[in-house]
């Protein structure tokens, strides 16, 4: 079985995240300790005892999810999980995928995403931007709505998550108008999202400027396995290309349908989502139901995944 590893992005965080892994597996605890040292404060305490509101702060959310994801990955590696043939991550999760592929060291990645989170939070004043999920709507219908409701403001697709599910972002007024019109035109759901900033649209340009300086100081290696990029869905095979696409990703839409499709075309036969939540494994099934997908982010999930690997290896 040829596995593709997937890593979650912002929104997967929850209080207590990673605690059971760290209490059960030394490899997971070591990752949390490394994060604490790299960041200069106790991220582990924030993950395990922090409130929903504390974890929702973007500069906390991003290193927390990356750390939980890498801790889960290290446990799976220690237990003998098969190496992936490809990796990908949704938005922030692309950094986790590059840690898995050896493109970035974990310490550099966790410091970088904390800065990334802070830059993204500071790029747009609170209340100026917004995001919304549009579900059950054809792409050409959505394009029409976005063109009709922008009215000179920023408004664009931010996450192309699965057929029939797109997240939009931009100025708050434009997003509100798009939500109203999408409902009127028959979208099954058009729901404003509780987010701290309008991610993956041109309003994030100030964040990209700050991140460019940080990424320029970080060492990148060539990935050991292809990492499929959010920006174009294609495989990243060099460190320089990884750096360029992680920067471009800040303002560009996440083309998740393309990512999953291209990974399957490249030979991935089964997906494993590694880290908090099960959103990506669910999305991959909506994109292609023929390819199985599972998730591991806690002790029961790790045990179930390892049992599944054993059955696969037995034929």
- What are the residue numbers of the active site? 91, 200
> Per the structure block, which two tokens stand in for 260?
């999953």
Strand pairing partners for 271? 4, 293
For residues 101 and 109, what is the distance between their CA atoms, to the nearest angstrom?
12
For 177-223, the three-class secondary structure string (H helix, E strand, C coil) is: HHHHHHHHCCCCEEEECCCCCCCCCHHHHHHHHHHHHHHHCCCCCCC
DSSP-derived pairing of the beta strands 270-274 and 293-296: parallel
| Cα 243 to Cα 84, 88, 94, 167, 272, distances in angstroms | 21, 15, 11, 25, 25
Structure-token pair, residue 2: 């040829």
> Which residues, at least 6 apart from 125, have a Cβ–Cβ distance to it below 8 Å?
none
How buried is 15 (Cβ within 10 angstroms: 0-12 exposed, 13-18 middle, 19+ buried)?
A: middle
Q: Distance (Å, rounded) from C-alpha 168 to C-alpha 193?
A: 10
């Amino acid at each position: 079985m040829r596995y593709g590893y997937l890593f979650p992005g912002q929104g997967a965080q929850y209080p207590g995240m990673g605690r059971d892994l760290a209490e059960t597996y030394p490899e997971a605890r070591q990752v949390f300790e490394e994060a604490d040292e790299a960041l200069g404060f106790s991220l582990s305490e924030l993950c395990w005892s922090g409130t929903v509101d504390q974890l929702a702060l973007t500069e906390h959310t991003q290193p927390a999810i990356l750390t939980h994801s890498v801790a889960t990955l290290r446990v799976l590696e220690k237990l003998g999980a098969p190496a992936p043939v490809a990796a990908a991550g949704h938005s922030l999760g692309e950094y986790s995928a590059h840690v898995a592929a050896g493109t970035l060291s974990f310490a550099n990645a966790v410091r970088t995403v904390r800065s990334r989170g802070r830059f993204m939070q500071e790029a747009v004043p609170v209340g100026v931007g917004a995001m919304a999920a549009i579900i059950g709507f054809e792409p050409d219908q959505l394009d029409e709505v976005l063109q009709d409701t922008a009215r000179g403001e920023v408004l664009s697709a931010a996450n192309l998550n699965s057929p029939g599910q797109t997240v939009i972002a931009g100025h708050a007024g434009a997003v509100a108008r798009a939500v109203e019109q999408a409902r009127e035109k028959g979208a099954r759901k058009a729901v404003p999202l509780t987010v701290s900033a309008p991610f993956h649209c041109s309003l994030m340009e100030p964040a990209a400027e700050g991140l460019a300086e940080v990424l320029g100081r970080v060492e990148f290696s060539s990935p050991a396995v292809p990492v499929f990029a959010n920006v174009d869905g294609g495989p990243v095979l060099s460190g320089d290309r990884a750096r360029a696409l992680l920067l471009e990703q800040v303002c560009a839409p996440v083309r998740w349908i393309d990512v999953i499709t291209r990974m399957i075309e490249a030979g991935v036969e089964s997906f494993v989502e590694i880290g908090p939540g099960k959103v990506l494994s669910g999305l991959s099934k909506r994109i292609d139901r023929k390819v199985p997908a599972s998730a591991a982010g806690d002790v029961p999930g790790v045990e179930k995944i390892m049992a599944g690997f054993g059955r696969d290896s037995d034929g």
